[in-house]
Structure 1
Amino acid sequence: MADEEAGRRRARGELEAEVMTTLWAAHEPLTPADVQAALGGDLAYNTVQTILIRLLEKGQVRRGPAGRGRGHAYWPAQDAASAAAGRMRAALDGRPDRRAVLQQFAAGLAADDVDVLRALLEERES
């Protein structure tokens, strides 16, 4: 099983998502070495550093001096909920039938989520 996992290629964006999840969970800036350790160390340091630089270029993380020499520490540019909401809005952008997308989204919600969404929409209306 470990061999299967080691040989498995991650889906597009999966590694970036894992790095972001690690940064959100940390609640403090992390160095590439910190992120590498948190992810289990199976990734090369350079791979982690490359992912962090890509996330920086996309505006998803911020970077500053690590305070431990010449390296950098990284932290999320926004919290996890704001990032997820942004992805949801992006899924609607440019769609010719936004109503159909929203309808499909709503149809897949659990009853508890429907109640929360309904309450939030009512708050917005008032």
Structure 2
Amino acid sequence: MRLGNLERSVMEALWAHPEGILAQDLAAALPSSPAVTTVLTVLVRLSRKGLATRERAGRAHLYRAAAGKDAFVAEAMREALDEAGDVEAAVNRFVGAVSPEVAAALRAALTDRPDLTTPGETHRPDLTATPEALTADRSGSVRGGGS
């Protein structure tokens, strides 16, 4: 889900205040110092998108992010892959551009998910390969450079 600049700033502030924050305090915390009514409009939009929640706190409302930033980023990545015409090509480009730390996180996540192996699959990707060693074979699937 793509967010506008103000929506992103509001979400960053909500993630920074997991205990919740009042719209007035949120407006004051934003670098652009928008009007409280503008922040309330953004919060309503974020609520409709399922990204923010609110609960009554006296006469006002306390706003929170509906999920953590990691869940938001994961969903954005999934949506981006859903929009890719060629998912394998998009994944190959992504893997080729990530830092060693991200590559290690991907390796660990894939290792922890044996359910991602296709039944009858004879080849499992070399999860120990470095991003530089990952190349596409003729079928386009990701393989370790040492295979």
User: How many angstroms does 1:113 deviate by?
Assistant: 1.3
Measure, in 2, the Cα distance between the counterparts of 1:41 and 1:32: 14
Structure-1-length-normalised TM-score? 0.82
Alignment of 1:1-126 (within 5 A): 13-40=4-31, 42-67=33-58, 69=59, 71-125=60-114
Amino acid at match of 1:85: A
Give the secondary structure class of the aligned counterpart of 2:21.
Answer: coil
The C-alpha deviation readout for 1:13-55, integer Å capped at 9, x for no partner, is: 1111110010111121111101111114621111111111110
Measure, in 1, the Cα distance between the counterparts of 2:66 and 2:79: 17
Query: After TM superposition, where is structure 1 displaced by more than 2 Å over at least 4 residues in a row?
Result: none
Structure 1 spans left out of the alignment, 5+ residues:
1-11
Please say which structure displays the higher CA radius of gyration.
2
Measure, in 1, the Cα distance between the counterparts of 2:92 and 2:75: 18
Measure, in 1, the Cα distance between the counterparts of 2:40 and 2:65: 15
Greater helix content: 1
Structure-2-length-normalised TM-score? 0.71
Cα 1:40–1:96 shift into 2, 3 Å: closer
User: How many angstroms does 1:63 deviate by?
Assistant: 1.2
Cα 1:34–1:41 shift into 2, 3 Å: farther
The answer as to whether partners of 2:18 and 2:65 remain within 8 angstroms in 1 is no
Greater strand content: 2
Structure 2 spans left out of the alignment, 5+ residues:
116-147
Root-mean-square deviation (CA, aligned residues, Å) is: 1.6
Aligned residues: 113
Cα 1:110–1:41 shift into 2, 3 Å: closer
Measure, in 2, the Cα distance between the counterparts of 1:113 and 1:95: 21
Measure, in 1, the Cα distance between the counterparts of 2:4 and 2:52: 15
